[in-house]
Amino acid sequence: MYNPSTISLYGLQNYSLYLLNNAKECREKFLLVANWLVDYQDELGGWAYTFDHPFLPHRVSTLRAPWYSAIGLGMALSVLSRATLLTDDQGF
């Protein structure tokens, strides 16, 4: 099971380290995450969570898989826009 928010956060962390230290290995890790996001984007254009989420179970019914997170989508788009800027590759 993959968590798009966590994967994107890892990518953004490596992007920041690349900018801070010009560390080539961080750039490569960042681009691996960007490519993963491209490869695993679903037919609706997002990255669905594949588990049920009992969000506030006493107030709201359980979110049933698949579901999308605005935070996850925003973080993924942040990775992809930075990858486009970094590489000038419109495939991101």
Query: In the chain, what percentage of residues exceed pLDDT 90?
Result: 86
Tally Cβ neighbours within 10 Å of residue 20.
9
CA distances from 69 to 7, 9, 19, 24, 78 (A): 13, 14, 27, 31, 14
Average pLDDT, the chain: 95
pLDDT range class, residue 58, cuts 50, 70, 90: confident
pLDDT at 5 exceeding the cut of 80: yes
pLDDT reported for residue 14 = 99
Give the Å distances, CA to CA, from 88 to 54, 70, 85, 92. 41, 26, 5, 9
Residue 68 pLDDT level (bands cut at 50, 70, 90): very high
Q: Which pLDDT value is given to residue 61? A: 84
Per-residue model confidence (pLDDT) at position 1: 78
Alpha-carbon distance 11 to 27, whole Å?
Answer: 9
